[in-house]
Amino acid sequence: MRDLYGHLPIQNFVNTQINPTESTISQHAALTALRGPQDVVATMVDAYRERRDAAIGQLSAAGIPSVRPGGSFFLMADIGHSGLDSWSFSRELLKQTGVAVVPGAAFGPAGDRFVRISLAAAMDVVVEGTRRIGAFAATPRAA
């Protein structure tokens, strides 16, 4: 059986043993970033906090509970009340509104009532995306 790229399982195993870490140039780039000026870190933390708060506000206004992230730029929104599993919700949301989210079930069975929303976009995109999620979730579904 071959994977998506046509590799045999043994090829995948061998590749993970040959390339177990990041490339040397990536490691040097990371070291340079860590040793360089850090003022941009506080700026980005503030930007993500503002996006998180705006997204949570939009979702709350639409009656969608969410899990407040403590240190990432992803937000988990509870779409259990929509009547759809997370895969169906994500697929239909994309098809009908153009908004892409990650089904919570991709992270295990307990995540099936959630979708993961990225906050790594401009503020206006996050606000509009979460507004569309709220409108979509409020749409009545045929039983």
Report pLDDT digits (tens) over 33-55: 999 999 999 999 999 999 999 99
The conformation of residue 73, written as its DSSP 8-state character, comes to S
Q: In what order do the strands lie in the sheet with 66-67?
A: 66-67, 74-78, 114-118, 102-103
Residues in the chain, total: 143
Coil/strand/helix, residue 6: coil
Kindly list the distances between the CA atom of residue 96 and the CA atoms of 12, 13, 52, 109, 117, in Å, as whole numbers in the listed order.
Answer: 37, 40, 24, 25, 17
Residue where the block lists tokens 């906090």: 49
pTM of the predicted protein model: 0.76
Phi, psi of 43 (to 5 degrees): -60, -45
Mean confidence (pLDDT) of the chain: 88
Binned at pLDDT 50, 70 and 90, residue 24 comes out as: confident
Binned at pLDDT 50, 70 and 90, residue 127 comes out as: very high
Give pLDDT, residue 23: 80
Neighbours of 91 (CB within 10 A): 13
Binned at pLDDT 50, 70 and 90, residue 86 comes out as: very high
Phi, psi of 4 (to 5 degrees): -55, -30
Q: Are 101 and 28 in contact (CB under 8 A)?
A: no
Q: If we measure between CA atoms, which residue out of 115, 140, 133 comes closest to residue 60?
A: 133
Q: Are 97 and 140 in contact (CB under 8 A)?
A: no
Binned at pLDDT 50, 70 and 90, residue 136 comes out as: very high
